[in-house]
Amino acid sequence: MDDRHHTADYKQHFSPLLYLQSFYSGIEGNPMQDFLTTKMQFWHEVFVDGKIKGRRLLDIGTGPSVHSVISASPHCDEIYLTDFTPKNRAALKQWLQGDLQHSFESFFRFVVNSEGKGESWDERENQLRGKVSGILHIDLRQADPLAPNIMPTFDVITSSLCLEAAAEDITEYENMAGRVAALLKEDGHVILYGNIGEKLYTVGDHSFPLIRVKEDQVKSVWVKCGFSITEWKQKVYPEFPDTAVTGLKGSFMLVAKKLGKPEHT
């Protein structure tokens, strides 16, 4: 792999705050409101019935945003957030300490309103903060992605828009999926959110390439890695207005259960 793409681009050019302002400034009134609503609804629907749960959850490639673990937070005791870049991990630590110059209020409100239990958005945010047990470095290009941290396998793994950004092609995507599988307990669940057709996204004046994935490719990869796909949600979008996202055709949510020895090694 060309480290200039993943290391230099993300470590030198990626701005966590600009990314948050561009994509996660809030749901209501956002040019991408339909996209964000779909994303948060997908996460809500996966976790609302409480069937997917466990003591320890790992979120892979969290970035500077915690939106992808809000719905999961009542169903796990320990939550570990991860990212490749020090700047994103620093942003997560700032959020954990209440010092991040960005609010996720809109996303917490969406979740608690969807659940309808009378919980306030800031109560849920504080609950999530209390369950974050670590903010770790991760590199899916390595055989042991969490090294040098030594961690037991997890009950639940979540990830949003990470593997498409980390991999150079679908073969490497599959290799990375295999490493994700190794971090999960047998009978554990992986919940993966991704986009169909997206080839790049832009933060400020810098564009970051993605591999374009299709439904059949994604499903095939996770089956090869030893999973049974239990749920697949997909939404196709009309043409977006001129936004920072290029090539986006739709979004998907995959829920899969880890079986025995995988075909992929």
Per-residue model confidence as pLDDT tens digits over 17-32: 988 988 898 898 887 7
Contacts of 72 (CB under 8 A, 6+ apart): 43, 47, 52, 57, 79, 156, 158, 191
265 belongs to a structural domain: no
Rank 28-42, 171-185, 244-258 by mean pLDDT and report only the highest.
Answer: 171-185
Query: C-alpha distances in angstroms, 202 versus 22, 35, 125, 199, 245?
Result: 9, 16, 28, 11, 7
State the pLDDT at residue 242: 46
State the pLDDT at residue 13: 73
78 belongs to a structural domain: yes
Overall number of domains in the chain: 1
263 belongs to a structural domain: no
Q: How confident is the model at residue 8 (pLDDT cuts 50, 70, 90)?
A: low
- Check pLDDT > 70 for residue 61: yes
264 belongs to a structural domain: no
The CATH number of whichever domain residue 108 belongs to comes to 3.40.50.150
Structure tokens at 233: 């949600």
End-to-end Cα, the chain, rounded Å = 19
Per-residue model confidence as pLDDT tens digits over 126-179: 999 999 999 999 999 999 999 999 999 999 999 999 999 888 899 999 999 999
Tell me what the mean pLDDT of segment 46-75 comes to. 96
Q: How confident is the model at residue 240 (pLDDT cuts 50, 70, 90)?
A: low
The range of the structural domain enclosing residue 11 comes to: 3-258
Please tell me the pTM assigned to this model.
Answer: 0.91
